Amino acid sequence: MALTTNFKDFEDAIQYSTALLNQLDAIITRNLTDFPVTTPRIMNPEQLIQELANP
């Protein structure tokens, strides 16, 4: 699946494919622009912490 994505970086394609196959809600990364998708959600660590602190 990762081989058929349109990602510039193969490692990001693997992370994205793994998230989809495992039906994860989000990918947490410091490089938001590396993930040109909307599903699953792409968040940075600060966004995750803020969301967990304010349910």
Q: What percentage of the chain reaches a pLDDT higher than 90?
A: 95
Angle at 41 between CA 40 and CA 46, to 5 degrees: 145
- Check residue 32 and give its pLDDT: 95
Predicted confidence (pLDDT) per residue in 26-43, tens digit:
999 999 999 999 999 999
Domain that holds residue 23: 2-53
- Check residue 55 and give its pLDDT: 73
Q: How many CA atoms lie within 13 A of 13 on its CB side?
A: 10
Task: With 0.75 as the threshold, say if the pTM is over it.
Answer: yes
Number of domains present in the structure of the chain: 1
